[in-house]
Amino acid sequence: MRHLLAIDDLERSDVEELMELTDSFLEVSGREIAKVPALRGRTVVSLFYEDSTRTRISFETAAKRLSADTMTFGVSGSSAAKGESLRDTVRTIEAMGIDAVVVRHASAGAPQRVAGWIDAGVVNAGDGRHEHPTQALLDCYTLRRRLGPSLEGLRVAIVGDVANSRVARSDVKALRLLGAQITLVAPPTLLPSSLRGWPAEVAHDLDSVLSDVDVVILLRLQRERQSEALFPSLREYSLRYGMTADRARRLGPDALVMHPGPMNRGVEIDAEVADGARSTITEQVGNGVAVRMAVLYRMLASGGTDV
């Protein structure tokens, strides 16, 4: 695995292998000294042109737990703020001697462009409305930890701002690859203009699907990517598509509620549900470190390196 730019880069067997590798790294993360020498001498750069809490810290923690050296790039305080291009920036950083770049960018396709300019491996950490592959891998891993290794036939509803969500795109592909059945639940204004190529059913009424799903993945309203009013008000959105405590009570007894974060509490999810027994939100974040260790290890470890 030279790069990880999109879930389409992976076969089902690759995802399953990454999940098994993640089991090993979750064990490492639970040790008193949560560190292995697998990537000693390698350098991983976080290149974040867009804000992030979870993904950036998670990748940096993952690289450190693998004993890689890490560098962090943020637009503020860098020469990008003076107008330096993305191409010049990545080529400058590569000249310092690096092995992998973790790229987040507001433009869809930016990580792919970066992969074409440099020899180092590139991981997409979220590009515009396109993809967020490691979020999808950690969502799949969290479900496997909770429900067992097979997701075949699992009924998953992905609710909310599908049109603007890179998480939705990656989740649909990864979950389908593992055999889950997906229903997108959103008002027509928050669905992509064409659903060709989306292997998913569509529903507009959240209440009508609640009793028929095993997992509900709530999406953040991506207000920074919405250029017009796509629903009457936040209150109206929450009334129709929010996971309220009342809706959570109407889910099946073992149904799970997921959210990639950051959450708009009281809009797409009520605090009582986010912090309740069905919620996997904190586990998703914790599992994300081990998933990203597995991805970096697959990209950078030379053959035969012990975990």
Q: Contact letters (x/-) for ligand CP, 198-227, by CB under 6 A?
A: ------------------------------
Judged by CB, which is closer to ligand CP: 38, or 138?
138
Determine the Cα–Cα distance for residues 16 and 134; give it in Å rounded to an integer: 14
Give the total of residues touching ligand CP (CB under 6 A).
Answer: 10
206 versus 285: smaller Cβ distance to ligand CP: 285
Cβ(74)–Cβ(104) below 8 Å:
no
Smallest distance, Å, CB 56 to ligand CP? 6
Backbone angles phi, psi at 161, to 5 degrees: -80, 65
Residue 160 binds ligand CP, judged by CB under 6 A: no
Smallest distance from the beta carbon of 128 to ligand CP, in angstroms? 13
92 binds ligand CP (CB under 6 A): no
- 165 is a contact residue toward ligand CP (CB under 6 A): no
Tell me the CA distances in angstroms from 74 to 48, 52, 70, one per residue in order: 5, 10, 13
Convert 275-295 to b/e letters by CB count within 10 Å (16 or more is b): eeebbbbebbbbbbbbbbbbb
Span near ligand CP by CB under 6 A; candidates 46-54, 85-93, 144-152, 246-254? 46-54
Part in contact with ligand CP (CB under 6 A); list of ranges 35-43, 50-58, 150-158, 242-250: 50-58
Whole-number Å distance between alpha carbons of 112 and 8: 13
| Helix, coil or strand: residue 256 | strand
The answer to whether residues 288 and 134 touch, using CB atoms and an 8 Å cutoff, is: yes
Question: For residue 143, which of 113, 177, 111 has the smallest C-alpha distance?
Answer: 177
CB of 171 to ligand CP, least distance (A): 11
Rounded to a whole number, what is the distance in angstroms from the first to the last CA of the chain?
A: 17
54 binds ligand CP (CB under 6 A): yes
- Nearest CB to ligand CP, comparing residues 43 and 135: 135
Our CB check for ligand CP shows the closer of 209 and 267 to be 267
Kindly tell me which of 121 and 260 has the beta carbon lying closer to ligand CP.
260
Distance CA(260)–CA(284), nearest Å, equals 7
**Within positions 241 to 260, which residues make up the interface with ligand CP, using CB under 6 A?**
260
Q: Which residues in this chain contact ligand CP in the complex, by CB under 6 A?
A: 52-55, 126, 132, 135, 260-262
